[in-house]
Amino acid sequence: MTQEIVLANAAVVLPGETVTGSVRFRGEEIVDVATGRGVPQGAVDCGGDYVAPGLVELHTDNLERHIQPRPMVDWPHNAAILAHDAELAGTGITTVFDAMRVGSIPNGQGRYLKYARQLASELWTLRAEDALKISHFLHLRAEVCSETLIEEMDEFGAADRVGLVSLMDHTPGQRQFRDISKLEDYLKGKKGFSDAEFAEHVAQLKALRARYGDRHEAEAVKAAGRYGAVLASHDDTTAEQVAVSQGYGIRLAEFPTTLEAARACHESGIAVMMGAPNLIRGGSHSGNVAARELAEAGLLDILSSDYVPAALLMAAVQLGEIWGDMARGIATVTRNPARAVHLEDRGEIAVGRRADVVRFALRGGVPAVRGVWSRGVRVA
């Protein structure tokens, strides 16, 4: 028997406005949206809580954190995937593009090994067993400054739900780490590099970029086309870099590092995504442009939780306060990211959309999740 749920007497976040009303969903679909404070028999009285679309997360490293909770610790992958899935559900995220790095460096100070193909297969096995609470897609982070990018991307195909491919270039001295001292502080703090080890690491990455970078970038663009995936840039810093992105047909920019790049993105019709932790912390941990500065300049379209899942809803609420428009703030984590990756069936409270819904209240200015439904089934 198809279950019907009505969330009534709520602050319903619609496309473009927030109204007092109710949302009815039956099975996997929203079937009615009404205004008014009435609470029909059998409905849930939300007491003024917000009811919004389930959040859409395009770039999170959270699964990587679960499979390696400490350096040199490889946690059982099925357990890690299920814990990651449940954590996201608990924060209101109902659609996630799990970020997995492709492109490895088998030797040297920058050594890291491949993992994406195996992890993706394990993820899809659990999905086939109906073990996951929310909707998962893949986001392949194509690291051009590596040795094995092409071989690793060739291991994926159209059946792998690769919805997003981002062009990652972490060569020291440009993009995210244009200020190499920030990279030095980061690696010495995280990995305990000595001066000599850091110098060796920088030299190794620059050599890899010189040898493989251009070919890797071109092949990653081709691979995104084979998958039918959206292509994104990453850490654009200059207008010239944005022009290259535009030439590839990119319409999504992850974490531009300067006001110049963000403005060039908007002028080129490229949506700008920034990190929710950047907004909440008041700035970038890498010393780059602050998300709030872009928001106040009208240059921020989408938020990503990046490395803190709970940051996504919290930052969207903060944007709603900055802009004086809660619907606009919530759109940066619902409708806007959904449209950026061509998911037209979710991201807004509207009749016919997927019943991906989150109910939350504000406690001390911070959103407290009161209920989450994915395809009409309560998952948190």
For 89-127, give the DSSP string.
Answer: HHTTEEEEEEEEEE--B-SSTT-B---HHHHHHHHHHHH
pLDDT number for residue 216: 92
- State residue 204's pLDDT score: 73
Of the listed ranges 17-31, 158-172, 205-219, the least confidently predicted one is: 205-219
Amino acid at 325: D
357-363 and 50-53 as β-strands: parallel, antiparallel, unpaired? antiparallel
284 token code pair: 């970038």
CA distance 11 to 36: 10
Residue 119 banded pLDDT, cuts 50, 70, 90: very high
By residue count, the chain amounts to 380
Question: β-strand 50-53 against 55-60: which pairing, if any?
Answer: unpaired
Residue 360, SS3 per DSSP: strand
Q: What is the pLDDT of residue 28?
A: 97
Of 102-106, 160-164, 299-303, give the lowest mean pLDDT range.
102-106
* pTM strictly above 0.85: yes
Of 320, 321, 342, the C-alpha closest to 331 is 320
H or E segment at 253? strand 252-254
Question: Exposed, middle or buried: residue 338 (CB in 10 Å: 0-12, 13-18, 19+)?
Answer: buried
Task: Return d(Cα 272, Cα 289) in angstroms, integer.
Answer: 13
Which range (59-63, 139-143, 179-183, 336-340) has the least confidence?
179-183
pLDDT at 1: 65
pLDDT tier for residue 181 given thresholds of 50, 70 and 90: low
Q: If pLDDT is split at 50, 70 and 90, which confidence band does 345 have?
A: very high
Q: How far is CA 7 from CA 32, 41, 43, 199, 358, in A?
A: 11, 11, 6, 58, 10
Mean pLDDT of 39-55: 97
Band of residue 137 on the pLDDT scale cut at 50, 70, 90:
very high
Model pLDDT, residue 213: 76
